[in-house]
Amino acid sequence: MSQVIEIVKKGFDGQVDFYERRAGLWQLIFPVFHEDGDMIDIFVSSSPTKNGWVRIKDMGLTLMRLSYVFEVNTPTKERILETLLVQNGVMEDEGEFYLDSPPDMVLPKCDAICRLSAKGLQYEAMAKGYYQVFVL
C-alpha cells in the first residue's frame, strides 16, 4: 500500500500528503475545508474487491457531520441522497461514501468525493425545496 500511496502523491504533484491514521488506512491531508474551517475527511485504503486498486472513502464522517443539524430519515430525503450519489458516481455502504480507483486515477476520484461531501452538507437546503439550485 505504501507504494500505491507514493504513486498517488506523485499524481497530486506534491500538493497533498497522506498520514496513516490506522494500520492500512491513510488520511488525505490537503487544503480543502468545510465552512467551519475543518478539513474535509478523505481516506484511502486497499480496495477489498479490486486487486491493486485503491478505495477512497469518508469513513461515514460526511453523514455524521450532516446529522448535527439534519437527519436523512424519510423516503424523500433518501431519494435525494441517492440522486447525489449517482450524479457524483459515488457508492454508499452503511453510511460510508466510497469509490474504487486505480492508483493513477485517485485525484479526480477524490474530487468527486469532496464535491459530494461539500454538497452533502448543503443537503438541508436541498431537502427543503432548493434542490435544483445546487445540482450541477
Partner 1 sequence: MLNQDEINNLISCPKLVENSEPSKGMNIEKRSQRKNLELKAAQGKHLFRVFIRQSTELLEDFSIGLTYRSGDKETGSLTLIRFNGNHGEADWSKDGHYSSFHIHRITEDLLEQGIREPKETEITTRYSTLEEALAEFFNEISLENWLGYFPELRQLPLMVTVEGQK
- Which residues make up the interface to partner 1 (CB under 8 A)? 17, 19, 21-22, 27, 29-31, 33-39, 41, 59-61, 63-65, 67-69, 94-96
DSSP label of 14: T
Dihedral class, residue 89 (left if φ above 0, else alpha if ψ from -120 to 50, else beta): left
Q: Where are the beta strands (DSSP E) in the chain?
A: 17-22, 25-29, 43-46, 54-57, 91-93, 96-101
Question: Smallest distance, Å, CB 62 to partner 1?
Answer: 10
Question: Smallest distance, Å, CB 58 to partner 1?
Answer: 9
Question: Smallest distance, Å, CB 65 to partner 1?
Answer: 8
